Each structure stands twice: as structure tokens, then as C-alpha cells.
A and B are shown apart, each in its own frame.
Chain A
Amino acid sequence: MKKILVIDDDPQIVDLIKSRLKANNYEVITALDGKEGLEKTKEEFPHLIILDIAMPRMDGYTFVLELRKDEKLKGLPVIILTAKDKMKELFGMEGLSHYLIKPFIAYELLKKVKELLENEQFCS
């Protein structure tokens, strides 16, 4: 079973995404800010991360930068899920993250997740 880490400072969003993913047979772990998210990533090695941008303690942008510094983690697929559309260009240039704007549509999120995990499997 693929493991997905959901990082968002809104527990309701975390909850909803968790139940949606679980219903689609993914294992889900959660974090409420970037710092916690980074710790969980290092402990549990998820296959994919769904990430909010505006969060306390550590925001999503810093989280991605930290992730890219770590040789073992830098290839991890990240889906940015945010209310801020102006960050699109910034992450687009990284070339590694995928981007969805809230309010998201569940099947689009699932499609993206599926796509990325299949790719990842292919790579490894």
C-alpha cells in the first residue's frame, strides 16, 4: 500500500483528504505544519506528499527547499495544494512539484496522485 503524507495547517482539510485517500486504498499520515511534516517524512518515508503553502512554523516553500537538500528525499513527488495562485510560477520553475488550487476537485487530485505514484514506481 502506498503511503501519502498530507501537510496542511487546517485540520478539516487534512481530515477530508485523509478520508478521500483512504477510501481509495492509500495509507495516509498527516502533519499540521512544515516542520512536523519534515520530521514525519524522515521517519516514515512516504511515497508522495500533499503540501499546503501558508502554514505556521515552516511554510510549504521552505519545506520543499529543505526536502531538496536531502539526497535521499529530493526525488519525492510533491503536490502543492494551496489557495495562493501566485506561487504557481515559483514552483513551476522547480520543475518537480505539481500544483492544485483550492477548492480542488477530488478526482483531479486522485488522478494526479495516481499518475505520480505510477511514475515513481516506474523510476525505481
Chain B
Amino acid sequence: MKKEFRVLMLEDNAGDAELIGRELAKIGFAFTIKRVETKGGFLSALKEFKPEMVLSDYNLPDFDGLSALAATKAECPDALFIFVSGAIGEERAIEALKSGATDYVLKDRLSRFVPAVERALQEIIQRDAGNKMQENLQVGEERFRAFMDNSPAVAFLKTHEGRYVYANKPFEVRFNLTRTDWLGKTDFEFWPAQMAKHLQENDQIVLASSRSVKSTESIPTPDGGLRSWLVFKFPVIDSGESPLIGGMAVDMTDQKRLETQLKQVVGELSRLNGELDRKNEDLKKLDKLKSEFISTVSHELRTPMAIMRESIAQVMDRLCGEVTALQQQRLHMSLSNIDRLRHIIDNLLDISKFESRKVELRKEWVDLPGLVKEVEFSFEEQFKSKCLQLRYSFSKNKIEVNADKDNLIQVFMNLISNAIKFTDRGYVEIFIGENEKEIECRVTDTGCGIRVEDLPKIFNKFEQFGRPDDPGKKGTGLGLCICKEIIKLHHGEIWVESRLGHGTTFTFTLPKLSIRELFEENLSRYLQNCSKETDCLSIIIFEIHNFHTIHQKLGLKMESLQEKFVRSIEQYLQLQAGEIIHNSRFILVILPGMSKENISIISDRIHQTLDDLLSKKHFGNKIKLTIKTAEYPQGGNNAQELLEKTDLI
């Protein structure tokens, strides 16, 4: 919006006023004009109208121009004052201008009026702009000061001769200086000479290179200490002839101290780590020594035990002549204790193997009901002699799990022999069932039960409860501990429930792995020992096409066919190393050391062998096999990637 200038006209002659008004209209500005004729009117207009420009007649009946000028200066000091008058004479004109009038124009020469007013208005505009700038500048400088004085950093400005021309509050506070200490002074006047010299050398570098320089300085504190400052100095080039030197400095003492502390801590940590590594190494050695010791001692004991056992057995079998009944009884006692000793040694060896994690599971598909019936055979005598019943409860006739068969036999043997040992009447029941995720096995007896306080200790090493009198039947205190280790190795769980006087149930679970998980687990085991640079390994996966349809038609025949597949692959490969893992649908063949170049030939041959087998069995056009291969390391870095490569599972 265009500015409207407020103009106060002091003029008692209406004709002159109109004339002046007309002249004003020629100027390209908007005006609000107020005309007054008397002193009273003028004074009150000054107060209320606040004119920016006064056009005043010089001679008025009750008022003279100079008084009007004086009143204006008093009331509106910024207002411009132009006399528009009849002849006033040179002397008066000069007096008027001296008193502060902006200009004067004679009424008979109004042609001067327009340029005079225009000049005056420009003056107002410029003055306003100037005021604004001044104001802005003031605000800016205040802000700048506040910014610098509140900054945590020390800041300063020096001339090229090294004289301080500016320093912020922190500079004064941190270095304990007042304005008079530094203003116009050099470093030599308030720092020790050597330090001042050093600081000025830095200044010279800044000036010579026209670049900023970073340095770390130790600067004394008022209390005699030293603090460490990170200092940036830089050339400041303004309108002056020589560049100035600007500087900012941050107190780094605390960070430095933390850094030193951190370094110490890190050093200490790595020392402790080294110590820990050494101790760990020692422990490993000790552990190995322990395992070796148990192993050596156990083996060394076996031969003398064999000699003792066979000697006694031969006497008992009357190979060395007649034996009395009492002698026979004593010999029997010795023999059963030797057997017990052997049992302890076997268990000790197992435990030491489990504890040193040396056990490698030899997993295969194990039918649990079938396995239990195999185990039953060893206990037949004991069930008969104690008149105990053996009951089975299987949710299905065939329940398969991929596990180490010998290990599972050991678990069942231990649990069943415990059950018989602590049961005098009633039965021992073996339950095997499965759900989607796991297989659950239970061995329940109607024996004496276990006291509540003993239950938590039941799986501990060498814990024995309710020892029977016959030494041959005494346990080793290791059986349940071994069971727990075996189940743990199979990623299952084992627990016990018991009621004193009523009986005990041991339950263990074995997770069911999906075929994918099974393949991954086995493949990972092989890949663990492979190094990318020197080793290779290949896998072949066979899948029976349209498995579900075929399986429905063939049922159990399908599984025996699959067994035949596996056997002929085994035969073909004469597997010296590697492994075949399968279920009724998929077969995975792991071939360590087999390179990418050879695998396609091998897999083709196997495919051919299996096709031959199929046509021999007259399945040639009914059953089709899909075959895929993958190679390490080209096809993937881990089991997951390799299996994904085959795209079958």
C-alpha cells in the first residue's frame, strides 16, 4: 500500500491554500492534508494529527512562522517544515533555515514548490529506511552478542598484529580476564611469554596460508591447573585492509580425560580377555585331560576285569574241578560285582563322552514300538522272576523318529530296568504316542515311588535312591543322567512324576523334524567341516513325482520301494563318505568332496539305476522321479542356501 503523508497546512488565506493544494496534487504521492488558520488550531493539530510535513505561512495574524517552527520541533521533531510565504527576505530565510526549517518557497514562485516538497519527501523516505536499518542492525548485533556470549565455545577476533578486538563472555569468564585486560592487547600481555609466542605462531600460520588451523592447546586455569582446548583459528576478511584472525576454542579436558579412561578400560578389558582366553584354554585342556583320564583308566581296567571275570566263570563252570555250593554262591557274588563294575565303567565312559560333547549322533529312522519290543527281550527273565506284567500302549503300530537308535535303546533300557528294580507287584507300562510336533514316550510303574524331596535330584550324577540289597542290581547312579544327556542331544525333554507308594512315570519327548529341517541338520553337520577355499561338496535330492496319489495307491509298498531306492543308491556309490537321508517322498544324498564337474554324471547314473529298478518292478510308467543337484561352495554357503537351490522342498 502506498504511504499517505500527513501534511499540516498553516494558512489563513483560502485562495493560497487551494493553490498550494493544487501544486501538491502534482506530486506523485498521496497526502492527507489538514489546514489550520490559527495558533490554537495549529498547536492542537500538532498533538493530534502528528504531521510528517508542515507547510507554514510566515506571517499570520496571531502567530508567526518561527514560533510555529519552534512548536513543531518541540512536538514533532522528525516532521519536515517548509515555509510557503510571501517575501520574507534573505535574513529571515537564513534564520528560518538555521532554526531547523527544511526549506522555504515563495508564494509568487510556486514553481519551486514541487521540487522542494519532493526533495523533502525523499528525505523522509530515506530517513525512515535509515531508521529501520539502524534498528535492524541493532537487533542483529544484540542477537550476535547474545549468541556469542551464550555459546559454550570461547570466541575472539584479533588484528593481523595480534591485538584482540573482540572476545565473547566465555573468553573472559574461562580465562578470568576483564575487557580492559584484552581489548587492544596481544597475547603477550596476559599469557606467559612462551605460550603467547606459540599462540602467535599459530596466528602467523593462519595469515600466511589463509586457511583455518586446528590445534590442541594446554592453557593454564586461574587456580594453577591446566585445561586442554581444541582451538580453531581462521582468517576473517572484511572491508578492512588487513585480514583479521578469528578464533573459536572448546574445552576438551573432560573428553580427554574420558578418552584416557576409556583407553585404560579398553586396555584392561583386553588384558582380562586375554587372561580369560588363557584360562578357557587351560580349562579346555583340563577337560580334555579329564576325559582322556576317564577313558584311559576305564580301558586299562577292562583287561584285568576280563581276566577276573573269565577266571571266576571258568571255576563256576567247573572247568577247574568240582566246586561246593557255598563256593559257588561266593563266586556268583564276585561275578555279579564284576558285572556291576563293568556297568559303572560303561556309564562313566558314556557320561564323559556326553560331557566332552564328543558324541556324534548316528541318526536313522527308528520305529519306536519296534525298538521297544527288541528291548523287551532283554528283560523277559526279570519280568518273569518278579511276576510283573509288561503292558504296551502305542497310539499307532509304527511311530518313526529320526534318531540315534543305540542311544534310544539305552534310554529305554535304563528306564525299564529302573522300573523293574523298584517295582515288586503290578506292572510296567510303556506308552508311545505322537502329535504333530513331537513324539512322547512314557515308562510307568506301580512301584515304591520317589520321595518329593528327591525328585529334583533324580537326574543328577551319582544320585541313588532306595538301593536294593543285591549288589548286582545296584545301579551306578548314572543311568538317568545318561538318559537326560541323550534326550538333550536329540533336542527333546525328559521329566519324572511320582507318588510315594503308588508308582513313578518317566516321560520324554522327541521333536519331529520336518524333512526340510532334517536335511538341513544333516547337511549343516557336513558343511561345518568344509572350508570354502579347499573343499567341495555336492548334494542330490530325489523326489517322487505325484507322491500323494502314488502313496494312496501303494501304501506300505511305497515305503519298501523307497528303501530299495536308498539301498541301490548306496550300492551304486559304495558310500565311503557321505550319507543318505530320506523319508518316503524325498531322498537326500550328501557327497563330500564331490565337485560340480562330476555331480551331473553321478546324478544321471543314479537316475538311470533307479529308473531301471522301477521298470524291473513294473513301475516304469507309473512312478517318476524328479532329481536336483546343488554344489558347495558355488551353489550356496550353507545348508539352507543349498537346499533352496534345489528348489524341491
Contacts and interface: CB of A to CB of B under 8 A. Distances in A.
Interface stretch (B70-78, B302-310, B581-589, B602-610): B302-310
A124 interface: no
A13 B306 CA distance: 8
A57 B539 CA distance: 43
Interface residues of A, number: 17
A117 to B, nearest CB: 20
A115 to B, nearest CB: 17
A66 interface: no
A105 B313 CA distance: 9
A76 to B, nearest CB: 23
B388 interface: no
B14 interface: no
B134 interface: no
B317 interface: yes
B256 to A, nearest CB: 61
Contacts of A23: 314, 317, 319
B50 interface: no
B327 interface: no
B299 A104 contact: no
Interface in B100-116: none
B310 A20 contact: yes
B349 interface: yes
Nearest to B362: A89
A106 B338 CA distance: 14
B349 A104 contact: no
A121 interface: no
Most interface-central of A84, A102, A104 (chain B CB within 10 A) = A102
A16 B305 contact: no
A20 B319 contact: yes
B329 interface: no
Given A16-B310, A103-B310, A103-B342, A83 B319 contact: no
Contacts of B273: none
A20 to B, nearest CB: 6
A37 to B, nearest CB: 18
A65 interface: no
A99 B306 CA distance: 15
A12 B319 contact: no
B280 interface: no
B191 to A, nearest CB: 81
Given A12-B307, A13-B307, A103-B338, A19 B314 contact: yes
A103 B306 contact: yes
Contacts of A101: 302
Contact of A20 (B299, B303, B308, B314): B314
Contacts of A104: 306, 309-310
B389 interface: no
Contacts of A17: 310
A10 B319 CA distance: 21
Contact of B311 (A10, A16, A105): A16
A72 to B, nearest CB: 24
Nearest to B305: A103
A120 interface: no
Contacts of A85: 349
A62 to B, nearest CB: 19
Nearest to B308: A103
A88 B231 CA distance: 76
Nearest to B575: A93
Contacts of A84: 299
Given A13-B310, A16-B310, 15 more contacts: A16-B314, A19-B319, A20-B319, A23-B314, A83-B303, A83-B306, A102-B303, A102-B305, A103-B302, A103-B309, A103-B310, A103-B338, A105-B309, A106-B310, A106-B313
Interface of A: 10, 12-13, 16-17, 19-20, 23, 83-85, 101-106
> Which are the 4 A-B pairs with shortest beta-carbon distances?
A83-B302, A103-B306, A102-B306, A102-B302
24 contacts: A13-B306, A13-B307, A13-B310, A16-B307, A16-B310, A16-B311, A16-B314, A19-B319, A20-B310, A20-B314, A83-B300, A83-B303, A83-B306, A84-B299, A85-B349, A101-B302, A102-B302, A103-B308, A103-B310, A104-B306, A104-B309, A104-B310, A105-B309, A106-B313
